[in-house]
Amino acid sequence: MTGLGDLLDDVVEDIDAVLVFTKDPGTHEQFDDEEFETIVVATENAVEADKFVSLPLQFKDLTGRIRYALEGALDAEYIADGDDVVCLTTFIEDDGIDTVVRVKGDQFSHTGLYDLFVNSRADSEVVRNVFEVAIELGKKGQKGKPVGALFVVGDAGKVMNKSRPLSYNPFEKSHVHVGDPIVNVMLKEFSRLDGAFVISDSGKIVSAYRYLEPAAEGVDIPKGLGTRHMAAAAITRDTNATAIVLSESDGMVRAFKAGELVLELDPEEY
């Protein structure tokens, strides 16, 4: 076992920080008094760690999980670009920490995913809930068929002023919020029809079937993306909203802020 021990020693030698993906206080305590920075990454800070990165999505893809955590740690200035960082995480779901990965602080190109959740006008939990709906739709479609959808989150008053109804609004007199399992089923069902969903900062479903009417002049989106993406970019340029788009053609989920594409992900990786 000497060779294996030496290899593991090399992996953790002279590191600057460790990212511990855990909610378990016992696991956190094992590293909290070490000479390097210890940063906890989880959906909630159950261990009350001083340095914590909130993980809003259950990333099944190991690379995506580590990339997000690094962005969060860099943004919070827990680590720097050139730091050597060890990530302690789980490869087999719910089976404890079983994976050790050594990376540089700037190992990956910046995706903007962390910034999207932390710095959007809408509640980060609301953004997460909308992402989960889009991701689930991307995986399963509508009755097994690919579907496209557009969710505009935050700054709902301005968004409504820059759009018009395509049909009766089923949410007009309701007080339902995204994140409720029943409401999420409704969103998935209504997604097969034209128009955008408008969701408030707090997660209230303001409207469905909205035709967005912001001016598209000066909006620049990647080639190959269609009118749904153009509308998403334009509405976020003219308001403080975030737009989340599920593409019917390629199945990708994309997010727009301030008129720019800030995130692109494959639902099958989450």
The owner of tokens 């920490």 is 97
Total residues belonging to the chain: 270
Shared-domain flag, residues 37 and 167: no
- CA pseudo-torsion sign 164, 169, 171, 174: positive
> Total domain count for the chain?
2
Q: Are the C-beta atoms of residues 155 and 241 closer than 8 Å to each other?
A: yes
Query: Is residue 180 domain-resident?
Result: yes
Q: Are the C-beta atoms of residues 214 and 231 closer than 8 Å to each other?
A: yes
Shared-domain flag, residues 156 and 212: yes
Q: CATH no. for residue 57?
A: 3.40.1380.20
Query: Is residue 53 domain-resident?
Result: yes
Tokens of 81: 């670009």
Shared-domain flag, residues 151 and 22: no
- 145 C-beta neighbours (distance < 10 Å), count: 9
Q: Is 46 helix (H, G, I), strand (E, B) or coil?
A: coil
Tokens of 41: 């990454």
Say what the pLDDT of residue 44 is: 85
Shared-domain flag, residues 29 and 134: no
Domain ends where: 56, 91, 110?
Answer: 110
Query: Is residue 10 domain-resident?
Result: yes
Q: CATH no. for residue 131?
A: 3.40.1700.10
Shared-domain flag, residues 88 and 148: no
Q: Tell me which residue range forms the domain holding 66.
A: 2-110
Tokens of 183: 């409401």
Query: 101 pairs with which residues across the strands?
Result: 87
Q: pLDDT tens digits, the chain, 270 residues: what are they?
A: 567 777 777 888 889 999 999 888 777 777 766 678 899 998 888 888 899 998 877 677 788 889 889 999 999 999 999 999 999 998 876 667 888 999 999 888 777 778 887 778 888 889 988 988 898 888 877 666 788 899 999 999 999 999 999 988 989 888 899 988 888 888 888 887 789 999 999 999 999 999 999 887 888 888 888 899 999 999 999 999 999 999 988 999 999 999 989 888 888 876
